[in-house]
Amino acid sequence: MVNVTKRFVTPSGAAMTAIRDVSLTVAPGEFCAIVGPTGCGKSTTLTLAAGLEQPSAGTVRVSGTPVDGITKGVSFVFQTDALLPWKPVLDNVALGPMFKGIGKSEAKSRARTWLQTVGLGGFEEHYPHQLSGGMRKRVSLAAALINEPSLLLMDEPFSALDVQTRAIMSNELLNLWDRLTPTVLFVTHDLEEAIGLADKVVVITAGPGTVKAVFDIDLPRPRGAVQDIRFDKRFLELYQQIWGALREEVEQTYARSAGQIASGRAFA
Amino acid sequence: MATTPPAARADDELTISTQARTRRTRHRQLVILGQAGIALVVILGWQIGALTGFIDPFFFGSPSGIVIRLADWAMNGTAYGSFWLQIWTTLEEALLGFAAGVTSGIFFGVLLGEVPYLAEVIGPYIKIVNALPRIVLGSIFVMWLGLGLPSKVMLAAVLVFFVVFFNAFQGVRSVDRNLVSNARILGASRLQVVWHVVFPSAMTWIIASLHVALGFAIIGAIVGEFLGSQRGLGLVIATAQNTFDANGVFGAMIVIGGLALSAEAAMSMLERRLLAWQPAATKERDVQGV
C-alpha cells in the first residue's frame, strides 16, 4: 500500500477523509496487526485491500498487482459473522469453492474437511443461529480459509466473543496460520491480542488515519497459548512501547468526541 | 434435612408439570368456550330478532334464510350455472392473478432493488400508479379484455403486484451489506450474489407480503366480477343485491370468507416450509391479512 488516501463523500455533500496517505507494506506470510482509536479508518484500510472500495488517491497493490475490483486470493472475516442464516453450516462453508466454479459434491466434501479442521465435525446440518458465537466464528474461519487465500483480512473478528472464547480462537487462528501461512491483516482494538498474535503491529493515528508507527514483534514462535505470553517480560516491554504511541491517539479521539458532545454537536 | 431426596424431587417435578399442563388445557378450553359463546349469541340473537320482527329479514336476512339460500344454490345452481362453477371461477381468477402478481412483483422488486439507477428513474412512476385507487383500473380492464376471465386475473394481478413489489424492493434494499461483501470476496458473480444472498434474504419480506397479497387477489377477482362478468361469486352477489336478496349477499359472503380462510391456512403452511431455517422466536410474526 503506497500513499493511500480514501475520501468519502458524505450524504450531505461534504468530503470526509477516512485515511490519509497511509503507506504500509506487509511481507508475504506475515501476520500484521493494525491498532488505532475508534473511527481512525482501520476497517477502511481492509476494504481497500479487499478491493471492495477503490482508493481516492494512491494505489493498493496485492502481490505486486494494483487492486482493481475484488482482489484475487483474498478472504475476509468480518466482525459480525457473515454467514447466510438460511443455509446450513456445511453449505455456508462450501460457498467459496462453489463460487469458484467447483462442483457441488466436491465443494461439500472440502467443506466437510474444513469443518472438521476447525473442530465442528457433526454440526454440518445445523443452521448458524443454532450455534454459539464461538462456533459461528469457527465456521466463518473455515469459510474464509477454504479458498486457501494468500491474503486473509480480519476486521476485529473476535471482538464480539467473550474473553475465554477469544483466547481459544486466537490460539486456533495461530495454528491455522502456521499451516497455511497466508498474509494476515488483522484489525483490532485490543493491544494484547495484537501483540500476542502478530509479527508486526501498526499504530494508526486518530482520524483521518495515517500510520503513526510500526513495531516489530520479536517474540519467538511458536508462541504457545496467547493467555500465557502476556506475562512474558518482552511482551510487557512491547506493550508499554506501543501503548505509549497509541495512548495519545486514543486520548485525542476521546477529547474530540467529548468536545463534540459538550458543544451539542454530537455526530459520528 | 438439608436436601430433598432425588426421588421426591422427581415426583414433585412430575406434579408440577402435570399441573402446568392442566392449567394450559383449561385456559385453552375457556378460550374456545368464549369464542363459541360469541358465535352462538350473535347467530341466535339474529335469528330470534328476525323471527320476532325486531330485525327486518327483508334487509338483514336471517341465519336460517342464509342456510336455505346456500342449500338451494348448492342443489339447484344459480341462474348462470352450478354454484360450484361460480366458486371455482372466482378461485381460478384469484389464484391466477395471485401467481402473476407475485411473480412480476418479485421480479421487478429484485431488479429495481439491485439496480439503483432503474429504481431512481422508474421509482416516481411506480409511486404515481400506486397512488391511484387501483380498483378503478378494473373498469379499463373489463373494457380492454372483455367480460371473461382475463380482465379479473389482470385486476387481481395488479393489486397483488404492488404489495409484493414494494416488499421485495424493501427486502432487497435491506440485505446485510456484510453478506454481500463476503460473497463477492469469496468470488461470487453478480447473479450468484442475487441468487444465493439477496433473494433468500428478501424472501422474509416477500413472504410477509404474501398474506396481504392473497387477500387482495380475492378482492380483485370479486370486484372484477362486480364490474362486469358472466359468472363468479362477485356476479352472484351483484345479482342478489339487485333483487334485494339479503340472504343471497350474506350467503356468498360466507363462502368467500371460507375461501379466504382456507387460502390463508395454505399460505401459512407454505410460509412455515420456506422459512424453516429461522429461529423459533422470530417466527411468531402475525401478519394481518386483508
Q: Which of A52, A67, A70, A99 to mutate to test the interface with B (most CBs of B within 10 A)?
A: A99
How many domains in chain A? 1
The three cell numbers locating residue B97: 392473478
Predicted pLDDT at B280:
61
Residues 6+ positions from B96 with CB-CB distance below 8 Å: B149, B153, B156, B157
Rg (C-alpha) for chain A, rounded Å, is 19
**A57-59, strands of its sheet edge to edge:** A15-22, A2-9, A57-59
For B213-245, the pLDDT digits (tens) are 999 999 999 999 988 888 888 888 888 888 888
Residue A55 within any structural domain of the chain = yes
Residues of A in contact with B283 (CB under 8 A): none
Higher pLDDT, B47 or A28: B47
B187 vs A74: CB contact, 8 Å cut-off? no
Predicted pLDDT at A266:
44
Predicted pLDDT at A7:
47
Give CA–CA dist A18/B78, Å, rounded. Answer: 74
Determine the average pLDDT of the residues in B126-144.
Answer: 86
Residues of A in contact with B203 (CB under 8 A): 86
List the alpha helices (DSSP H) in A181-214: 191-197
List the alpha helices (DSSP H) in B115-196: 116-131, 137-145, 149-173, 177-185, 190-193
Find where cell 379466504 sits. B260
Helix, strand, coil shares of chain A, percent, nearest 5, are 40, 20, 40
Amino acid at A160: A
The three cell numbers locating residue B144: 380492454
Using the Cβ of B176 and the Cβ atoms of chain A, whether some distance falls under 8 Å is answered with: yes
Residue A136 within any structural domain of the chain = no
What is the residue-wise DSSP string for B113-135? HH-HHHHHHHHHHHHHHHHS-GG
Is the distance from CB of B16 to CB of B8 less than 8 angstroms? no
Residue A240 CA: distances (Å) to CA of A232, A233, A246, B138 = 13, 11, 10, 77
Residue A220 within any structural domain of the chain = yes
A99 vs B278: CB contact, 8 Å cut-off? no
For A139-186, the pLDDT digits (tens) are 998 998 888 888 899 988 888 888 888 888 888 888 888 888 888 889
Using the Cβ of A95 and the Cβ atoms of chain B, whether some distance falls under 8 Å is answered with: yes
Neighbours of A234 (CB within 10 A): 13
Using the Cβ of B274 and the Cβ atoms of chain A, whether some distance falls under 8 Å is answered with: no
Residue A39 within any structural domain of the chain = yes
User: Domain residues for A267?
Assistant: 1-63+183-268
A-B interface: how many C-beta pairs under 8 angstroms?
58
User: In terms of pTM, does the model score above 0.90?
Assistant: no
Give CA–CA dist B107/B102, Å, rounded. Answer: 8
Nearest Cα residue to B279 out of A85, A83, A134, A120: A85
Residues of A in contact with B176 (CB under 8 A): 82
Residues of A in contact with B181 (CB under 8 A): 47, 50, 52, 76, 78, 82
Residue A254 within any structural domain of the chain = yes
Predicted pLDDT at B111:
92
Residue A149 within any structural domain of the chain = no
> Where is average pLDDT lowest: B14-18, B121-125, B157-161?
B14-18
Three-state SS across B75-104?
HHCECCECHHHHHHHHHHHHHHHHHHHHHH
Low-confidence ranges of chain A (pLDDT < 50): 1-3, 6-14, 265-268
A82 vs B182: CB contact, 8 Å cut-off? yes
- Phi first, then psi: give them for residue A200, nearest 5 degrees: -150, 135
Predicted pLDDT at A267:
45
Q: CATH no. for residue A29?
A: 3.40.50.300
**Burial (CB count <10 Å: 0-12, 13-18, 19+), residue A220:** exposed
Residue A224 within any structural domain of the chain = yes
Q: How far is A129 from chain B (nearest CA, A)?
A: 7
Predicted pLDDT at B76:
85
Give CA–CA dist A59/A222, Å, rounded. Answer: 34
Q: Tell me the average pLDDT of chain B.
A: 86
Predicted pLDDT at A11:
39
The winner for highest mean pLDDT among A21-30, B255-264, B269-278 is B255-264
Residue A98 within any structural domain of the chain = no
Nearest Cα residue to B163 out of B94, B234, B258, B98: B98
B175: nearest CA partner in chain A: A84
- pLDDT above 60: residue B6: no
Using the Cβ of A82 and the Cβ atoms of chain B, whether some distance falls under 8 Å is answered with: yes
Determine the average pLDDT of the residues in B184-199.
Answer: 89
